[in-house]
Amino acid sequence: MNCKGARATAIEHIRAGSAVLDPHFEVCAECCRFLQAQLALHSAFAALSSEGPAPADLEARLLAEFDASRNASHLAPRAAVRRVRWWLPAAALAASLAIAAIALHRAVPPRVASEPFVEIPYIAPLAPYERTRIVRMDVPVSALVAAGFEVHAADTGAALRADVLFGQDGRAHAIRLVSNSVPNSN
């Protein structure tokens, strides 16, 4: 038997007034201390009950005390709830107004470019689950020509501003020229 079971059995034996003969209490020091405390408690209750009869109005006084404490404990939380009830909707309203103000006055980022990305030829397409990143950079015209794009520029050493779409593996998959980077031919 474990300590918990031995203690429960010992309490029942003490309440019944019989001796506790479980050998567990001789082996386990902690349970032995528990048994001694329970025996002392039982004898103290026995001494209290033998002092004399209880007053006749003890039950009525005890019930009145319970009722008074119950009423006092119920009134205090109700008053606190009443105080909380008016500011809770006010706080919710203030929070929703703050969220609406932030949402309405949030700066909308300008559109970078209206041109679509053009895939770089001879590169395996991106997988649907693959992470990508877009990097704005100066791309040399010679690199665009080498990648297979048709570029009409007088200076092949020049560079154009473009958004380059890189895949998870670090390879460039698509490119989008930024409209204000194209040199004026006039």
What pTM was estimated for this model as a whole?
A: 0.36
Q: Which pLDDT tens digit goes with each residue over 65-92?
A: 878 877 765 555 555 556 666 677 888 8
Residue keyed to tokens 């932030």: 102
Give the rounded distance of the alpha carbon of 182 from its chain centre. 50
175: left (phi over 0), alpha (psi -120 to 50) or beta: beta
Q: Are 30 and 3 in contact (CB under 8 A)?
A: yes
Residue keyed to tokens 């201390």: 33
Q: Which pLDDT tens digit goes with each residue over 93-146?
A: 889 888 888 877 766 555 555 678 888 888 888 888 889 999 999 988 888 888
Q: Are 185 and 147 in contact (CB under 8 A)?
A: no
Cα gap 135→137, rounded to integer Å: 6
Question: Comparing 148 with 50, which gets the higher pLDDT?
Answer: 148
Q: Which pLDDT tens digit goes with each residue over 17-72?
A: 888 888 888 888 898 898 898 888 888 877 777 666 767 787 788 788 878 877 76
